[in-house]
Amino acid sequence: MKYTNGFWAMREGIEPAYAIEYAGHVLRGKELTVYLPAKHIADRGDPMNIPMLTVTLSSPLEGIIKVSAVHHAGAAVRGPFAQITAGNPQVVIQETEEEICYQSGDLRAVIDKRPNHYRLSFYDDGRFLTESGYHNLAYMQDHSTGRKYMIEQHLIDVDEYVYGLGERFTPFVKNGQTVEMWNEDGGTASEIAYKNIPFHITNKGYGVLVDHVGDVAYEIASEKVERVQFGVEGESLEYYFISGGSPMKTVEKYTELTGRPALPPAWSFGLWLTTSFKPHYDEETTSGYIEEMARRKIPLHVFHFDAYWMDVLEWCNYTWDSNVTADPKGMLERYHEKGLHICVWINPYIAQKSYLFAEGKEKGYLLKWTDGGVWQTDLWQPGMAVIDFTNPAACTWLQEKLKILTDMGVDSFKTDFAERIPVKDVVWYDGSDPVKMHNYYSVLYNRTVFSLLERERGEGDAVVFARSSSVGGQQFPVHWGGDCSASYVSMAETLRGGLSLSLSGYGFWSHDISGFEQTATPDLYKRWCQFGLLSSHSRLHGADSLRVPWQFDEEACEILKEFVNLKCRLMPYLYGMAVQSHKYGRPVLRPMFLEFPGDHGCDTLDRQYMLGDALLAAPIFKESGEVDYYLPKGRWINLITGEKKEGGGWQKEVHDYHSLPLLVRENRIIPMGKNETDPAYDYSEGVTLVLSEFTDGGCAMAEIPDTDGEIVMKVRAKREGDEIVVEVEGEGNYSIKNLGSGAVRAF
């Protein structure tokens, strides 16, 4: 939302009250409260009839400073609130004649005390990061609407780029954009998004989380081109300023604050095939597709039943439609015998025709109008209602219905929708603010389903396939990119969404291979298969037809098989990266600047990514097979072709469908398994330790987990003169493949 009309004037009806100068402070334990009148106090009469802003600094964790800015402190503030981890960090507060310094770890917030000079500056280990100063922190009244807002503005440096804010399909660099935090079902081709996270990060290495799960409004180098502006409606604004010293360390600190992703089961990294949205779901039809995949020796690991496994007009009743199967338990047993895991589609809406509607209404489990009646709409399903997850009994109620399905053999749920949550004239069971609940509802929904799977299947074997999310939702993987289209443009916007989402701590992400809407050309299908199998999770899904490869051409079957085989062989490496995501919050799919901070060639890249810390992937977005990608400095080797490259600039190549730029970074070890048909196996048994090019004195380490995420083998390698010395600890057996130069000595 914009408040000004150019540099000098305000928009009509807007009255600002800016923090102008320091007027005293109070210390309460580890909290520093500073008083900031909206006018310079020159004589005794000046304090009359003016607003004052109050800013409190505190620290929940080392390297994180919370800034709480308030106009009228007596205003009511309702939840929901994102769950935040708080520790007991050491805080140092120092004062001089001209400033007060508040320090947590290496992060310092410095307040200028000089008259008429309010400024809040942030430093990391002495390095200036950003500041809020003249006419930045403000309370805004819009007299045309009666609404009131709190806003903050941080300085953007000359070469600084802003990223993140959830899964956004607009340009990866957010400079110049207006962004609203409001979950909507809009596909991947617009500025609206399914997963809005009010956390941005910059290439200077710091991040800012606004502590508000509702409609935070951003103007990023848009209203004021030298500022990131963010604001909320109301009398107060709180945000966490986070600095880990580098972009990756800041993402780690963000996930320490808001929650680390659970570790998905290894089987979930395999190939998922769905019924798609509209085709027939009966066992004869679905078994035919499964058997044809097996006949063509294309490994398949998860079979998903989409919406029509339930009777139409009854979404959701969480009950099998008899037209699909009269024996669901037997059908699922037969699929399990084929080595498949089973996922089924659900959403949190209850159609009036569903038998659950009357039950939910009677027990008070559905969202209500303010007059006490059940909120209903005809959008999506006739007379549908919304489960009220602020009511613990409603959460248990849904879990009881889903347990019937897990008992008969369902392994996972696709937790679709949860964006169409009303805000007008509704009341939640726990009295939550409807505007804030609009986005945060998705977290409660996914938490409810995920916790059931953890309880029923065991911790470490739970996975959902979620579309919408908010702050903290990364704890309940996996998330997918929503409804994309069958085009290269949509494939590229899908990748941008995944890159943006990863910066909000989402370690595991997927997308509809070849596009949900329309049907891809054989060319696009094959290129998207490459990209899809080089994502953490891989799913064939569409609207009107099953995305099985033989419906495109015979070569598509060959390409899909090759890249499923490759992903299965890469699982010792990929699951090691998954364990890092679970332990530290590092995403599996990573924007280039996250791995190469300080390389300005990486700052704007959005058509390539790092898959973990060692592999660079550049999907191909042209029918010609041409691809342009940037290689940071160093020596790189294509894992598929063996071709060596010297980094430090742009590369231009042409690839057939059997390859793409998939390059191993120098001084890295890629553990590759011997199993090319199953993602879940003993990764340390017969593992091949693939060595990249090692520089003089270069060293590397790799950890190989088992399928429970426990590290069972550690590998270290170091170049010593003409030799690469490899040391292996742990159980298992291995061989070594050296892609680079030099002899290898192992012990």
Active site residues: 416, 419, 483
Q: List the strands of the sheet with 589-590, edge to edge.
A: 589-590, 609-611, 615-617, 662-664, 635-638, 644-646
Q: Which residues contact 225 (CB under 8 A, 6 or more apart)?
A: 156
* Residue in 38, 22, 34, 211 with CA at minimum distance from that of residue 141: 38
Q: Cα–Cα distance between 672 and 661 in angstroms, integer?
A: 18
**What number of other Cβ atoms are within 10 A of residue 43's Cβ?**
6
Please give the Cα distance from 453 to 565 (Å, whole number).
Answer: 28
Cα–Cα nearest to 234, from 351, 89, 78:
78
d(CA 248, CA 144): 44
| Identity of the amino acid at 345 | W
Question: What does 371-402 look like in DSSP terms, one character per residue?
Answer: TSSBP-B-SSSTTBEEB-TTSHHHHHHHHHHH
What DSSP line would sit under 530-570, residue for residue? Answer: HHHHTSSSEEE--SSS---GGGT-HHHHHHHHHHHHHHHHT
Give Cα separations from 356 to 245, 319, 398, 430, 452 (angstroms).
51, 10, 10, 22, 19
Residue 499's contacts (CB-CB under 8 Å, 6 or more residues apart) are 172, 589, 591, 606, 609
Bridge partners of 615, per DSSP, are: 611, 664
CB contact at 8 A, 90 and 109: no
Q: Give the separation between CA 193 and CA 64, rounded to whole angstroms.
A: 28
Over the range 387-406, which residues count as b (16 or more CB within 10 Å of their CB) and which as e? bbbbbeebbebbbebbeebb
Taking the CA atoms of the chain, what radius of gyration do you get in angstroms? 27
Q: Which residue has tokens 């966490």?
A: 240
Secondary structure of 620-636 as H, E, C letters: CCCCCCEEEEEECCCEE
d(CA 568, CA 301): 11
Give the pair of three-digit tokens for residue 108. 């310092």
Rounded CA-CA distance 26/13 in Å is 35
Rounded Cα gap, residues 293 and 291, in angstroms: 5
